[in-house]
Every structure is written in C-alpha cells, then in structure tokens.
Chain A
C-alpha cells in the first residue's frame, strides 16, 4: 500500500485545462474519477486499490491545483476532457472507477466512446432520475445539513471528519488563513460540480447507457440516503452484463465509510476469476 501519492501537473495544452494527477502503486492502470468532494486525502479505498493497481487520480478543474474550468463549457466538453486526460496519461482502455459525480462521468464517457474504456466500476453514480426517489439537492443546503445524507454512521470517523470541515462554513470570524484557503478551495470545487450538475443531476444518461460495452460493476452503499440504491437496478437493466454489489452499513460515500469491502469488490471486478 502507498500512503503518499505522487502529484504531477498535466498540461493539456494552450486554451485547455491543467490537471493535477495523483498517482500511486504499480501494475495495470486504474483511472479513478473522484466525486463532488474531490480527494481531500489519500485515504479510504484509494490506498487499497493502489496496492494492486497503478492508480491515476486526476482532479477536475477547480479541485486541488487543477484549473481551466472556463475551457469546459458544457457536459460534452467535460466528457471529452476525460478522454484528453486518458490520452495525455498514455493509457489504453483503462479500468475506470468513478464515485458519484465521477461515476456519472465514467458512465457517460463509456457510452460516448465505448471502445476506449476497458472496464468500469461505478460507485453510487448520479445521472439518473425517478420522481419517486429524488436525488438530494446538493446545492441548496448548508454543508453540515448534507452530512447525514452522505454517511450511514454519523459517529464514524469519515462522517466526523466531514462535520469538522463544515464548521468552516459557520458565521464565526475566527478562521485561520489556512482554514480560509481550505474554505475557498472547497467553494472552487463545488463551483465545478454545480457547473455540470445544477440544478438536477440528470441529462439523458439513461437513454445512452445501452452503448456501454465495458464490463460494468455497480457498487452501492445499502444505506445511501443521497441517491437511493434503487437506481442500481436501472443501471443493471440498461447496461448489458452489469453486476450490482451492495455494501452493507455504508451510505453514499461508500469509499470513505466502508473502504475494505468496497475496494474488495472493485479489485475483484478488475481481475475476474
């Protein structure tokens, strides 16, 4: 396992984003697409995945040191950007693992250029919508109110860590300069998320899912209150050969809350048999 990833800056060219890529481990490539919270630390499932794969985790513009959101005007630009990153990293038909926002992006990419994605694992991806199970509004709530939708166990370390961060959004005027920068950094990341997902994170993925050719694993925390696990069944129905794994005692951020069983499922899907 590797606890400190290497960080490199990938310049995609003039008039295109510059992307910070976190890398760790050796072996076959695994492209990790993060969720709306970015990658705050190399923790949870990531070090476990890096025990077996060469993990590449690019950060979207607005997260970490990545910039150039202004060059991605719409979702189509965003998906093509994903392929630009794959090409710049020199990856061929990688195993793509995406969580929530990243899962949506991975599914859209696999439907857009099906031959270029080798294998797919989607952890509680957004992108679908049913009126009877509305996805929680990520943008119209105070930060500390969101946490109970994201975790199964609010007393667990992952939930407590997030609650600590949400304190920064309070009205108190006692933040350190470092905390202010953390706060601004989080705002910048959420801005990227909002650009592509506001106000409802659905824009037709369902009618494109049939094009996905990559063997696809759907992973869902059984107690996900942010997006109902019922959506897993829709993905399974629409993607040929897709398999669903449900992780007990886990909420939406399954990679942080139940890293071992989640990573085991993802690793198992990567080397079947």
Chain B
C-alpha cells in the first residue's frame, strides 16, 4: 500500500455561532471572517506539516483546489506544490488537482504541471477534478450544463500538449489556439500519472477505465459508508474487463492517532467537532445546480437519496458515533492499524489518502499523529497489495540524481562571497 498525507488547509477560527449566523462555509461566507495575519501563520504551519510528512516517510504529500471556502484555503494548489517541491525531495507531489475546465486556456495547467514535474524531478501526480458545483459553477461561473463537455475538451488538449513534439493548432468548441507548443515539457513520459477525484458517478468510473487513470474516491463520510460505492466501482471494472488492480483506486480517510484511545478522544474531539459541524456546514441550495449531474446520476441519486451526498454528512454526531460509523479512524496506533487494514481490504484500495490534520487541530497534535502513523501504523500495513504492480505512480528521477534545493548556493558560496581576483596578463 501507499500512503499520501493530504491537507485541506481549513481556516481554524470560524466563530462559535458560525452555524447560526451563516448558511454555509463556502461561496458566500463573508471574507471579513478571514484574518490575513492569522492566515500567514496557517499557511506556514500547514506547509511545515506537509514537509514533516515527507521527512517521516509518507509516499506522497497532497494538496487540492477550492475557492471561497472556509475549510479549504488553496485556490491555487500549484503554489503550495511549488513551495513543497523546493522544500522536500522524497515524497511524490499529489496535486488533486486542478479543475481543468476553469483554466483559460487549459494549456495553463499543462504548463504549470510541467513546471512542477520539472522542478521536483518528476515527482508529480496530476489530478484532474471536474470540481464541485460550489467551486466551478458558483465561484467560477462555469455553466453547469456544458461543464463536463468543456472538461473533456480541456483534458484532451492538455494530454495532447504534453505529448506532441511539434506546434499544433487546437480548434475546440471552448478553446481556440493557433499555436500550442508548451515549454517546459514534463520529465515523466508520456506524462505524469493522472488521478481523477470523484464522488461515485458511473461516468467517472468509465472515464478512468477508458484512459487508465486512478479513481480517487473523495468522501468525508468514511470507509464504512464508502463500501457500497466502491463495490460499484469494482463491479464496473469487472464488467469492462479491467483487472482488479487495487492501485487503480484511492480512498481518503480522516485519521487521528494518539498514544491511547482515551487520549485520542480527549485531544482530538474539539478539532473533529470543528470539522464536522463547522467546516462541513454546507448550503444544500448550491450543491446541485441544474445540469451539473447527468440525468442518470439524478435518477440514481433520487433512489439513493440525493441529500445524503458524500460531502454533507457527519454533523451533530458524537465522537462515538463518528468512530463507530467509520467517519473517522481514531485511537491508539494498534486501534488505527487494525481499522486501516479493514479499510484497505474492504475497499480494495492500494492508495490511501490520509487526512491527519482535521478541522482546528494545532501543529503539535497533528505532528504527533503523523509521527505515530508513520512509525507505528504504516510498517504494519505496508505489505498489503504488494503482489500488485502500481501503474499509477510517478516515474521520478532516481533520488540521487534529483537536485537538492540550495545545494548550488553552497557549492559556489566561497567564490561568491570573496572579491574576484584581478588577473594581470
């Protein structure tokens, strides 16, 4: 199995009466609630957490894109990934991802992802989400009816831009470019591995199967509720004649590790409560603009209950309910180990996205959790699925060939800091 340490970067100071005063955490939450000087601390702490995960041996560190959102302060995940590319050298960089229909022209994504891949020595995993309605429709004004068509065109353009070696013209419905010829090109050939985040629609499964992409199931409702959805995924893969390779699938789970089960509840409950009751306070009126979902998905949703989306769950629950329901995996390393194994085998996922920072959690608590997970959980579950080959992992340059940030300054420091000798012929 492989483990990526994934950050949402929530704002940690939403007021106590937040739920009563505002209808949601996203889109129209007044930015007067945001204090940039606190934000300065947060960005730096959060990047430190991701760097610590790299030092502790996580396989990848992950960031994502949200807009006008109190629980996700990364409108530009590429900026975060760029900072991480220079401060880490081991972990792969999972950008999950860029909502490609938003970028005009979409070759911007091809360029920036190529930059990240080159800076990092080929460590990039490129995520291409369609994006949530809140982000892409209500914050970025994309038409929900044509969004998926535009997404698909952007995808085709980016893939071609990464692989063509001669300038070409792109006469699309949404993008018209006379000369496509991006510099730089990614290190990874033919292109970085592509992961597609989704929330359970059959169209996304078929898209991943058709093009050989990793399917990343994003959910805040935990591994027990994910089982039915991922059974659907594996059934679909079987129906399409795909091998059931667990590495084609990623699941995201919120996890808290402390020294004992009791300590875990005491230390983490306020921060978990903050996440489920403030960060996930979502306004239903902006979760399904007309046309965002296909009619087939609406039909499936009407039967399976459209209101119970994977995003909008877990509010008004006690610690025990969240733990028993699998919304969070929490406890001592032994407890967490056993549940992670149950998760991996139950969902058949080779990649686990671990959200070890939750809600309002501070630095010390988070790094302790990271340390315990890296040293007392991962070694025990690492070998699960080792009989399968991971085709969805970066083909990075060998570690010894990757540049070490700052090394060039060190190499020339002596010459740089003394006067050049005047030579007399």
A residues with CB within 8 A of B: 73, 139-142, 145, 170-171, 173, 175, 180, 183-184, 187-188, 190-191, 193-195, 198-199
A193→B290 contact, CB < 8 A: yes
Contacts of B145 in A (CB 8 A): 191, 194-195, 198
Contacts of B291 in A (CB 8 A): 190-191, 194-195, 198
A180→B138 contact, CB < 8 A: no
Q: Tell me whether B421 is interfacial, beta carbon within 8 Å.
A: no
User: In whole angstroms, what is the CA distance A184 to B286 when docked?
Assistant: 18
Can you name 10 A-B pairs with beta carbons within 8 Å? Answer: A139-B137, A140-B289, A171-B305, A187-B290, A190-B290, A191-B290, A194-B289, A198-B143, A198-B291, A199-B141
Q: List B17-72 residues whose CB lies under 8 Å from chain A.
A: 27
B residues with CB within 8 A of A: 27, 137-138, 141, 143-146, 173, 284-286, 289-291, 295, 298-299, 302, 305-308
Known: A142-B285, A198-B290. 13 other contacts (CB 8 A): A140-B286, A184-B298, A184-B302, A190-B290, A190-B291, A191-B145, A194-B289, A194-B290, A194-B291, A198-B143, A198-B145, A198-B291, A199-B141
Contacts A180-B302, A194-B144, A199-B141 given; does A187 touch B295 at CB 8 Å: yes
Contacts A171-B305, A187-B290 given; does A140 touch B138 at CB 8 Å: yes
A194→B298 contact, CB < 8 A: no
Contacts of A173 in B (CB 8 A): 305
Nearest-CB residue, chain A, relative to B286:
A140
Contacts of A187 in B (CB 8 A): 290, 295, 298
A183→B143 contact, CB < 8 A: no
Nearest-CB residue, chain B, relative to A142:
B285
User: In whole angstroms, what is the CA distance A183 to B286 when docked?
Assistant: 18
User: In whole angstroms, what is the CA distance A198 to B292 when docked?
Assistant: 12
User: In whole angstroms, what is the CA distance A140 to B282 when docked?
Assistant: 12
Interface centre among B146, B173, B289, B291 (most CB of A within 10 A): B291
* One of B143, B305, B306 near A195 (C-beta < 8 A): B143
The 9 A-B residue pairs whose C-beta atoms are closest, nearest first, are A171-B307, A190-B290, A195-B145, A191-B291, A194-B290, A142-B285, A141-B285, A191-B290, A139-B289
User: In whole angstroms, what is the CA distance A149 to B291 when docked?
Assistant: 22
User: In whole angstroms, what is the CA distance A188 to B291 when docked?
Assistant: 8
User: In whole angstroms, what is the CA distance A199 to B290 when docked?
Assistant: 11
A195→B146 contact, CB < 8 A: yes
User: In whole angstroms, what is the CA distance A139 to B285 when docked?
Assistant: 8
Contacts of A184 in B (CB 8 A): 295, 298-299, 302
* One of B141, B143, B285 near A145 (C-beta < 8 A): B285
Nearest-CB residue, chain A, relative to B28:
A140
A199→B138 contact, CB < 8 A: yes
A198→B289 contact, CB < 8 A: yes
Nearest-CB residue, chain A, relative to B306:
A171
Q: In the assembled complex, how far is the CB of residue B266 from the closest CB belonging to chain A, in whole angstroms?
A: 34
